[in-house]
Structure 1
Amino acid sequence: MLKTYFPNQDFKALLFDFDGTVADTMPAHLGAWNKALNKYDLSLSREQHQAWAGRPTHRIVEMMNELHGTSINPQQFVAEKEVHYLASLNEVSTIASVMDVIKHYHRQIPMAIVTGSRRKIVELTMNQLNLQPYFDLLVCAEDYTQGKPAPDCFLLAANKFGTDPKDCLVFEDAVLGIQAAHTAGMDCLKVIEDFSLSHTR
């Protein structure tokens, strides 16, 4: 299956971003953002949401404060946004092209979720979608300091697997995540708009 993209490579670990890559959560997250931002008379466009994808929520709040001259409390906002997101959890589904890969290589190659989202939210979403059995490792926002496009999260996953970064393959939908993967020295497949997979260089 992966030989279609990498005929001469045998990967020793598969690292998956979560939101917009394994699970089609982005509409639910964007809706939650805008419900939580409404009380501050602010909104987030789909384009801006996608451009910032991969960064932890609290960091995006800090960036919005800088952009709009506001003083939203990041921790409080994270809690408010999470309530709205969890209320729409039943609208979330998996992404078929990526799930095909996950099911195909399950029990053959170690697999990790590597995300900028908080562990609690990822675990609740994974439970909703019955994804827990497929993954050997979760690397979430609490586990590292420098978010994407820094390579730290992917390098941490490789280290936990005891795998050389060049032997890891990343699956990503966001520009920042793809940059992080390449900076980590890893190959990357992009989940594009129609949810098919595309080779990135």
Structure 2
Amino acid sequence: MIEIPKNVKGLIFDLDGTIADTMQYHFESWRKAVTPYGIDFNAELFMSLTGKPRTATILKLNELFGTTMNPIEVGAIKSSHFKTLVESTKEISIVADVIRKYHQVLPMSIGTGSTRSGAQKTLEVINMQQYFDIVVTSTDIINPKPHPETFLKCAELMKVAPKDCVVFEDGILGMQAAESVGMHVIDVTNYFTMEFTF
């Protein structure tokens, strides 16, 4: 069981790769969408972008590779491919067990770079939507991770000071976001192995 630091008053969870084992599906979907543009979308590149919303990811790839991908068109390809895979998503049990243990004990929220509809679908597939009244998505913020807006909004809605929150994350951008405002961070990748297959 993951240990929660003492005196923590609120729990914030990233979704993809933290509660839901979706990262392989996101990886495959991104590869399908951007490989035609000559981008070698490998696991290292993927992990460096984890937490960014779809449009921001495509704009960053354009910047890195000098491509001119249309965020709407390429994003639609990525999204439609992901939808063909999402139904077989499983929970990440070591994190899901924390959620079940602290449900109605501490305030909990989700802070994700996913869209509102994408987050709702993923939570339904893993049957965890009943644990979260507060879900902050890319649809609800202006500045995505590594900016802390997502997590600050979670804290505000939970009525918990940022310093009293712990954030569960798998992505470097999310960890940076949480640490920048003095939140505790639990790197969930210390508790399970994430590998990507091509």
User: Alignment partner for residue 78 of structure 2, among 81, 84, 91?
Assistant: 81
Which aligned pairs between 1:1-201 and structure 2 lie closer than 5 A?
4-6=3-5, 9-192=6-189, 194-195=191-192
Q: What amino acid is the match of 1:135?
A: F
Distance 2:40 2:84 in 1: 19
Distance 1:158 1:116 in 2: 16
CA deviation string 1:36-75 (max 9, x = no partner): 1233333411111011111111111011111222111112
Distance 1:32 1:138 in 2: 24
CA deviation string 1:171-199 (max 9, x = no partner): 00111111111112110111116528xxx
Is the Cα–Cα contact under 8 Å of residues 118 and 141 in structure 1 kept in the other structure? yes
Give identity over the alignment, percent: 39
Is the Cα–Cα contact under 8 Å of residues 28 and 91 in structure 1 kept in the other structure? no
**Closer/same/farther in 2, CA of residues 194 and 166 from structure 1, 3 Å limit:** closer
**Closer/same/farther in 2, CA of residues 108 and 193 from structure 1, 3 Å limit:** closer
Distance 2:186 2:36 in 1: 38
Instruction: Give the secondary structure class of the aligned counterpart of 2:29.
Output: helix
Is the Cα–Cα contact under 8 Å of residues 94 and 191 in structure 2 kept in the other structure? no
Q: What amino acid is the match of 1:74?
A: P
Give, in angstroms, the shift of residue 77 of structure 1. 1.7
CA deviation string 1:73-116 (max 9, x = no partner): 11222222110001011332111110110010111112111011
Give the equivalent residue in structure 2 for 1:199: none
Distance 1:38 1:148 in 2: 25
Is the Cα–Cα contact under 8 Å of residues 110 and 135 in structure 1 kept in the other structure? no
State the Cα RMSD in Å: 1.6
Equivalenced residues, count = 193
Listed as ranges, the gaps of 5+ residues in structure 1 are 197-201
Query: Highest relative contact order (Cα 8 Å, sep 6+), 1 or 2?
Result: 2
TM-score, structure 1 length as denominator? 0.90
Is the Cα–Cα contact under 8 Å of residues 109 and 158 in structure 2 kept in the other structure? no
CA deviation string 1:111-142 (max 9, x = no partner): 11101111111111111111100112100001
